[in-house]
A = this chain, B = another copy of it.
């Protein structure tokens, strides 16, 4: 935990907050911090800053926070064909750590229907995992999440509302154009990257994406599993955006 993240409701107007859960345990047992020590803190979807520990009596850590600016909002959004629940569970924290503005989960021909019937898609499950990723990466921007059981209505009717601006890329092992070439050529402010299921998008899905502004990009001849591909591709998009700006 490289940042202690607070919910807006947890921080009083005078900057005081009480930690009693795993964050208190982390402060006391991992950081071994006591009264007077400073911590990096942030508010979910708000600013970051520093906190001074006021007391640690009875395992309750009381801190006084001074906030400065909010970190920049991640410039990448992700359209992801829903992977199986075990993989999705592992991905939440990693996606938040890598920095994603919006996570749009979708069906596709090669997504099994029962993948949708899992508590891994319940906010009560994934929100703490997203927060864990933000605390790891020192960010406060909680990714927005939506789940779509129908691919075509999503792409045709809903996606423009969810992701109104920026470049659209779709990962395709067969594509010769690299992520960097595609991002560098346009230097848009945001990038929406689509990553298909194990086995790939079918040809209808790929055509529909291309008809809605997605450019196919590759990353060499290796075929990666969804979770590895997500991390690798988000790293490449992030790097391309940083160096094009």
Contacts and interface: CB of A to CB of B under 8 A. Distances in A.
A139 B222 contact: yes
A231 interface: yes
A17 B224 CA distance: 26
Given A94-B228, A97-B225, A232-B231, A180 B239 contact: yes
A145 interface: no
B219 A138 contact: no
A243 interface: yes
Interface in A39-92: 71
A90 B243 CA distance: 31
Interface string A228-242: 100111111011001
A2 B229 CA distance: 15
Contacts of A243: 178, 180
A99 B219 contact: no
A138 B222 contact: yes
Contacts of A221: 71, 138
B138 A228 contact: no
Interface centre among A94, A99, A221, A235 (most CB of B within 10 A): A235
Give 10 closest A-B pairs by Cβ, nearest first.
Answer: A232-B235, A137-B222, A231-B231, A94-B228, A235-B235, A2-B223, A97-B224, A228-B231, A231-B232, A235-B236
Given A93-B225, A137-B223, 10 more contacts: A97-B222, A98-B224, A136-B224, A138-B222, A219-B239, A220-B238, A231-B232, A233-B235, A235-B235, A239-B239
